[in-house]
């Protein structure tokens, strides 16, 4: 709340250094996991390769449940990257938070609305991009007037609502988790007795946060594919 | 309630940083392309390869199964034929054996009959011979006995009578 963000300025833009750092760390972790998982590929998979292939099949399942594979196949890498990146980002803030001189350095990047809304806007823009690419500009434009002409304002609102809910849902869940963790940690740090008292709730809430982080990564990917299918598919 | 003081909570500050947006976008796009190149690409390649491999294996297995079925059918047919042939062979052998046995039996029977007849004729011959011998013996014996009896009993009177009887007999038969 009133921990300040470490900042720096570049090209006339303000950067939150902690966000930049955490985004980089999350990306590197995702990259390392993915590369380790697909480093020594074999016809008979073992260990990490099994996990990666399970993940591929999982995202494939998400895509298949929203659209047919012919149009959805191209979104597989997008979905995989989204689910891994968001999952890792959600997990980063769980074990600890680091604040130095009242500046918060270590947290989940997804506990920041700017980051989640950026991802959400990126996804929605991608849906529009692929809608034009797959169906053509004319069909894409006419979709805004279906099934009735007067639906047009609603369709416009829907786009913004989709973006907002997609981004803020993720932010809200992760931020709320971190708020409660911070409260428990603050309470636990007040004294030995309260430290013992808050140990179990802390444990429970961290477990629950792992669950929530996983679910949110899944939901974000699922909704990405749902919006994508909504734009790209022909049937309505 | 010191710990509920917001100052002590470790939470991110609000505030809007335009640079974060750019950085997040850039990071995500870079991550997307790096992963596509180094992770998802090869991974999907091997998954696809395995899929094809499995398809091939299944097809191959199906083909060999069909082949095996065909072989089996052929074998069964051959076996059936062989069995049939064997049956025929056995039957013909049996028949031949029966015939042979019959003919042997027939020959034996004939032989027996022939031997029996030979034996019978032999017996007959022996018997006749024996009878002949006996007859001769008896004749000789009776002559001897008769000559002895005659020599002993024939006196004058009875000799006369005998001659008379004989003469009478001869005269009557005339």
- Tell me whether B17 touches chain A (CB under 8 Å): yes
**Closest Cβ–Cβ partner in A2, A53, A194 for B47:** A53
In Å, how far from its chain's centre is CA A229? 18
User: Which pair of tokens denotes residue B5?
Assistant: 């003081």
Chain B hits for A41, Cβ within 8 Å: 42-43, 45-46
Tell me the three state secondary structure of residue A15: strand
Beta strands in chain A (DSSP E): 7-10, 13-16, 98-100, 103-106
Domain assignment present for residue B10? The answer is no
Please report the pLDDT score of residue A91 as a whole number.
Answer: 86
Count Cβ neighbours within 10 Å for each residue of A149-167 and write b for 16 or more, e otherwise.
eeeeeeeeeeeeebbeebb
B17 found inside a domain: no
* Beta pairing class for A13-16 and A7-10: antiparallel
Considering only alpha carbons, which residue of chain A is nearest residue B19?
A15
Please name the residues in contact with B117: beta carbons below 8 A apart, sequence gap of 6 or more. none
User: Contacts of residue A38 in chain B, CB cutoff 8 Å?
Assistant: 38-40, 42-43
Task: In whole angstroms, give the CA distance from residue B58 to residue A121.
Answer: 46
* Residue at B21 is within a domain: no
- The A residues from 89 to 118 touching B (CB cutoff 8 Å) are 97, 99, 104, 107, 109, 111-112, 114-115, 118
Asked if the Cβ–Cβ distance from B44 to A41 is below 8 Å, we say no
Assigned domain for B83 exists: yes
- A24 to chain B: which residues are within 8 Å by CB? 27
Is B94 domain-assigned? yes
Least confident stretch, A44-53, A123-132, B107-116: A44-53
Number of domains into which chain B is organized: 1
Q: What is the pLDDT of residue A5?
A: 65
- From chain B, the residues in CB contact with A115 under 8 A are 20, 24
Does B102 fall in a domain? Answer: yes
Phi and psi based region of residue A101 (left: phi greater than 0; alpha: psi -120 to 50; beta: remaining): left
Chain B residue closest in CA terms to A43 = B50
A&B contacts, CB < 8 Å: 159
Q: Is A184 helix (H, G, I), strand (E, B) or coil?
A: helix
Q: Residue with structure tokens 């056995």? A: B90
> For the segment A171-196, what is each residue's pLDDT rounded down to a tens digit?
888 888 888 888 887 777 777 777 77
CA–CA gap between residue B28 and residue B37 (Å, rounded): 14
When comparing pLDDT for A235 and A61, which is higher? Answer: A61
Whether this model's ipTM surpasses 0.90 comes out as no
Domain that holds residue B66: 34-164
Residue B13: which of A93, A170, A103, A115 has the closest Cα?
A103
Q: How many helices (H) and strands (E) does chain A have?
A: 8, 4
Does residue B5 register a pLDDT over 80?
no
Residue B18 falls inside a structural domain:
no
Quickly tell me which residue has 């639906």 as its tokens: A151
B169 domain residue, yes or no: no
B131-140 residue pLDDT tens: 999 888 888 8
**Per-residue pLDDT tens for A36-78?**
887 777 777 777 888 888 888 898 898 888 888 887 778 888 8
Residue B1 touches chain A, beta carbons under 8 Å: no
What kind and span of H or E run contains A16?
Answer: strand A13-16
Decide which of B68 and B148 is more confident: B68
d(CA A59, CA A53): 10
Hunting for tokens 């899929």 — which residue is that?
B51
d(CA A76, CA A59): 7
Checking if the pLDDT of A144 tops 80, the result is: no
Average pLDDT, integer, range B11-40: 79
Confidence of residue B9 (pLDDT cuts 50, 70, 90): low
Find the distance separating the first CA and the last CA of chain A, reported in whole Å.
45
* pLDDT band of A132, cuts 50, 70, 90: confident
Q: How far apart are CA B114 and CA A224, in angstroms?
A: 117
């Amino acid at each position: 709340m009133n921990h300040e963000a470490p900042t720096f300025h570049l090209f006339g833009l303000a950067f939150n250094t902690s966000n930049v750092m955490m985004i980089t760390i999350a990306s590197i972790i995702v990259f390392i996991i993915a590369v380790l998982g697909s480093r020594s590929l074999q016809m008979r998979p073992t260990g990490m390769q099994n996990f990666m292939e399970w993940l591929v099949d999982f995202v494939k399942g998400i895509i298949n449940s929203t659209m047919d594979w012919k149009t959805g196949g191209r979104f597989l890498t997008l979905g995989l990257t989204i689910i891994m990146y968001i999952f890792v980002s959600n997990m980063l803030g769980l074990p600890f938070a680091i604040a130095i001189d009242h500046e918060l350095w270590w947290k989940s990047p997804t506990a920041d609305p700017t980051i989640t809304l950026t991802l959400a806007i990126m996804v929605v823009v991608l849906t529009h991009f692929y809608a034009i690419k797959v169906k053509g500009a004319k069909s894409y434009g006419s979709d805004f007037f279906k099934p009735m002409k007067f639906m047009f304002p609603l369709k416009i609102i829907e786009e913004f609502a989709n973006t907002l809910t997609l981004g803020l849902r993720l932010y809200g869940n992760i931020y709320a988790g971190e708020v409660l963790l911070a409260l428990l940690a603050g309470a636990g740090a007040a004294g030995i007795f309260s430290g013992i008292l808050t140990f179990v709730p802390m444990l429970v809430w961290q477990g629950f946060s792992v669950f929530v982080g996983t679910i949110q990564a899944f939901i974000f990917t699922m909704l990405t594919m749902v919006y994508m299918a909504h734009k790209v598919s022909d049937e309505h | 309630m010191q710990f509920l003081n917001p100052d002590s909570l470790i939470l991110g500050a609000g505030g809007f940083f335009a640079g974060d947006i750019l950085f997040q976008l850039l990071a995500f796009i870079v991550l997307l392309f790096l992963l596509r190149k180094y992770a998802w690409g090869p991974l999907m390649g091997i998954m696809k390869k395995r899929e094809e491999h499995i398809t091939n294996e299944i097809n191959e297995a199906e083909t060999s199964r069909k082949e095996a079925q065909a072989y089996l059918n052929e074998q069964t047919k051959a076996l059936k034929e062989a069995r049939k042939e064997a049956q025929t062979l056995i039957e013909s052998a049996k028949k031949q054996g029966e015939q042979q046995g019959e003919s042997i039996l027939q020959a034996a029977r004939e032989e027996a009959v022939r031997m029996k007849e030979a034996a019978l004729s032999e017996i007959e011959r022996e018997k006749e011979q024996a009878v002949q011998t006996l007859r001769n013996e008896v004749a000789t014996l009776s002559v001897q006995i008769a000559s002895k009896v005659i020599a002993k009993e024939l006196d004058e009177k009875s000799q006369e009578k005998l001659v008379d009887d004989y003469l009478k007999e001869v005269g009557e038969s005339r």
